[in-house]
Amino acid sequence: MLFYKEENGMNVIFKGLVIGLVSLGMLFIGSWTSAQAASKTVKLPTSIKGTWYGYVGKRNVQGHKIYEIDRLTFKKDRLTITMYETRKQSLHALRWQGSNVTAVHYTQKSKGVYRVKPRQLDGGTLMTIRTRRVNVKALGQKRQALKLADGDGVSYAFRQPLLSHVWNGDIL
């Protein structure tokens, strides 16, 4: 057998096994805490949580204008994206087209700037959110908007559907 030797009523193999397991456990705990510290998962401020709408754009289908709207719902551990379309320029009578629910966590990039990341091992940043809402001129009035940034540029989301500020590229 491997290094089997009695020493003070306890064999060397048992001591080696215990020492090996303890050191492996310490290594695991050390790497786990450093990974947790690196991600710095934080809570999203309550002023940002809730429902926001973004104007995706319009398209022509068989001679009719179709307006597309995305609804973003930020919750503590998930982001729900619901796609709607309507023929009405007032953006009423929205018809559901599909939904996507993503488990996410939020990390703080800097003061007032948060990253939305999917809870996947290889997931990158979905978008960056600025907690300080900006005033944007939309439909002739100043309105508060949520500034979203992704790889394509900056887009704005509003608390109600507005026919203003078409999203740059595919925000999500």
What would the pLDDT profile of 99-143 be if each residue is shown by its tens digit? 999 999 888 888 888 888 888 766 677 888 887 777 787 777 888
Whether the model clears a pTM of 0.75, i.e. scores above it, the answer is no
State whether residue 36 is helix, strand or coil.
helix
Q: Give the span between the Cα atoms of 159 and 165, in whole angstroms.
A: 13
pLDDT value at residue 39? 55
- Residues in CB range of 8: below 8 A, 6 or more apart: none
CA triplet 166, 122, 28: central angle to 5 degrees? 145
User: What is residue 17's DSSP assignment?
Assistant: H
Domain ranges for the chain = 50-158
Q: Whose CA is closest to 103, among 70, 131, 130, 76?
A: 76
Answer whether residue 98 shows pLDDT above 90: yes
